[in-house]
């Protein structure tokens, strides 16, 4: 048995590949290297350069490597970019996922784990978001992912196929062993940008919007450590292999931090003031996204081990300081 990890050379995918090989799994990492980095893939995994939506390729890999599960990370992830280029997001997220699901069904892979997102929720209030709330994505990115959840739901009804869609909240931090981390110099994530600023590689951090209906006027997110996210996937894999029912689960801690609180955490960790600039709101950004995480804790017995904003920031900074200056 082997696990196919699409987007295996990307930020989260490369952590997943290490997490799986650490657990003794055979792994095939598939990545078209559009944003991924070959050097981040664990040496003991098989690496294939190719597209997750290439049905013939995926069917061949399933047969050659006896793949019994697919974890699908590959995709585009930047909310404001999706507002400017919606069709690119529907192509790269929705269409690719459709073809990958078809390849899974056609080649008899019954276990599928999908990277969904908290942005399927509208995020209008500070209420914890539970999976049974009506979805209401406000960006093409969120819609492109929600459509994939629907394709999975319909496919699980129609075929011999089960899935877990994990709705990630804001993933940050890096492998505690220092083997991989967020490596794209063009990444837009708040904690990544804050690290670049703290290291003097970017002159200041933009604070996008200070008039949100939140306590300090900046956007609130539920930041989770990438290692806890990888652990959730490993549990979901075991759950599906044991015959667990298909479903959608939030993956967040259930605690929100504002942009200003992230800046304060970075200042505590470095002992220095972070240069910031007040900037207008970014297109497509909801004010609040905080998980109700009861379902994943109860169903998968997920117990996060890194639930501490300062440690998440410290971990991201340790990785960033290992990267060469751009
Ligand atoms: C992130 C993920 C998305 C995921 C979602 C789940 C990325 C690129 N996007 O989106 O894939 O599905 O979480 O919730 O990882 N901000 C600033 N200054 C900056 C950058 C961001 O003020 O330089 C603010 C944003 O306006 C927002 C918050 O920080 O309020 C988080 O932004 P960001 O890290 O870009 O993530 P999301 O857009 O929430």
- The tens digit of pLDDT for each residue in 8-26 reads 999 999 999 999 999 999 9
Q: Are 219 and 258 in contact (CB under 8 A)?
A: yes
The DSSP call for residue 17 is H
- What is the percent of the chain where pLDDT is above 70? 99
Q: Do domains 2-172+224-251 and 190-221+254-291+302-323 have the same CATH topology?
A: no
CATH 3.90.1310.10 is right for the domain spanning 2-172+224-251: no
Per-residue pLDDT at 77: 94
pLDDT band at residue 325 under the 50/70/90 scheme: low
pLDDT in tens, 199-209: 999 999 999 99
CA nearest ligand 1 atom 21, residue? 190
pLDDT, averaged across the chain: 97
The verdict on pTM exceeding 0.85 is yes
Pick the catalytic residue from 11, 89, 121, 141.
141
Contacts of 185 (CB under 8 A, 6+ apart): 196, 326
pLDDT in tens, 249-268: 999 999 999 999 999 999 99
CA nearest ligand 1 atom 38, residue? 79
Q: List residues near ligand 1 (CB under 6 A).
A: 77-79, 117-119, 168-170, 188-190, 193, 205-208, 219, 221, 259, 282, 285, 289
What HEC string does 150-165 produce?
A: HHHHHHHHHCCCEEEE
Residue whose token pair is 């995918």 = 13
Catalytic site includes residue 239: no
C-beta atoms surrounding 58 within 10 Å: 28
What is the DSSP secondary-structure string of 36-99? --GGGS-TTSEEEES-TT-HHHHHHHHHHHTEEEEEE--S---HHHHHH-HHHHIIIIIIHHHH
Average pLDDT over residues 41-51: 98
3-state helix, strand, coil split of the chain in percent (to 5) is 40, 20, 40
pLDDT in tens, 115-168: 999 999 998 999 999 999 999 999 999 999 999 999 999 999 999 999 999 999
Average pLDDT over residues 299-325: 95
Q: What is the CATH number of domain 190-221+254-291+302-323?
A: 3.90.25.10
Nearest residue to 113 via CA among 83, 149, 160 = 149
Per-residue pLDDT at 123: 87
Per-residue pLDDT at 185: 80
CA nearest ligand 1 atom 14, residue? 169
Domain locations in the chain as residue ranges: 2-172+224-251, 190-221+254-291+302-323
């Amino acid at each position: 048995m082997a696990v196919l990890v699409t987007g295996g050379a990307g930020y989260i995918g490369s952590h997943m590949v290490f997490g799986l090989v650490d657990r003794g799994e055979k792994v095939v990492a598939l990545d078209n290297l559009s944003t991924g980095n070959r050097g981040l893939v664990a040496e003991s995994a098989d690496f294939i350069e190719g597209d997750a939506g290439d049905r013939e390729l995926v069917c061949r890999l399933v047969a050659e490597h006896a793949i019994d599960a697919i974890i699908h990370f590959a995709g585009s992830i930047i909310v404001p970019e999706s507002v400017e280029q919606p069709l690119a997001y529907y192509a790269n997220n929705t269409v690719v996922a459709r073809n990958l699901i078809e390849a899974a069904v056609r080649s008899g892979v019954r276990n599928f784990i999908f990277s969904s997102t908290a942005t399927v929720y509208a995020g209008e209030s500070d209420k914890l978001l539970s999976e049974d709330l009506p979805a209401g994505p406000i960006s093409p990115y969120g819609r492109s992912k929600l459509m994939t959840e629907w394709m999975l739901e319909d496919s699980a009804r129609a075929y011999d196929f089960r899935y877990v869609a994990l709705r990630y909240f804001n993933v940050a931090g890096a492998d505690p062993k220092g083997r991989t981390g967020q490596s794209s110099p063009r990444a837009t994530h708040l904690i990544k940008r804050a690290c670049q600023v703290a290291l003097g590689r970017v002159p200041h951090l933009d604070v996008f919007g200070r008039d949100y209906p939140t306590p300090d006027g900046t956007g609130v997110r539920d930041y989770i450590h990438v290692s806890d996210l990888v652990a959730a996937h490993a549990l979901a894999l075991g759950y599906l292999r044991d015959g667990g029912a298909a479903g959608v689960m939030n993956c967040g801690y259930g605690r929100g931090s504002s942009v200003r609180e992230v800046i304060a955490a970075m200042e505590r960790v470095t002992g220095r003031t972070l240069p910031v600039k007040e900037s207008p709101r970014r297109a497509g950004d909801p004010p609040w996204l905080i998980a109700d995480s009861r379902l994943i804790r109860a169903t998968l017995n997920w117990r996060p081990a890194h639930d501490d904003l300062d440690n998440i920031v410290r971990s991201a900074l340790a990785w960033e300081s290992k990267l060469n200056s751009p």
